Amino acid sequence: MEVVANVGNLADAAVAADNGAEDVGLLRSEFLFLSRTEAPAEQEQSDALRQIFAPPGTIVVRTLDVGAGKPLAPLPPL
């Protein structure tokens, strides 16, 4: 049985690995944006993703899942 974890940032990935997760089942990329009033710079996003992807293995990434239920302050409402 494969053990995978859903994560939103590097700290989540580290905790998951420390607790036996073999891979990332879902990286919720919108978590890089949710608690901010301005969008993270491209380099900051790249650095965060590079660190999460550093361990070998499989990672499933959900691209920016936002909308009416999860508005982002840096983006105008739809």
Q: Into how many domains does the chain fold?
A: 1
Q: Report residue 24: phi and psi, to 5°.
A: -100, 120
State residue 15's pLDDT score: 92
Is there a domain that residue 4 lies in? no
- What pTM value is reported for the model? 0.65
- Residue 76 pLDDT greater than 70, yes or no: no
pLDDT tens track for 9-47: 888 888 988 999 888 888 888 888 877 888 889 999 889
> Which residues lie closer than 8 Å to 21 by C-beta, 6 or more apart?
3, 4, 5
Is there a domain that residue 21 lies in? no
Domain span including residue 57: 30-78
Q: Take residue 20 and report the two structure tokens written for it.
A: 């036996």
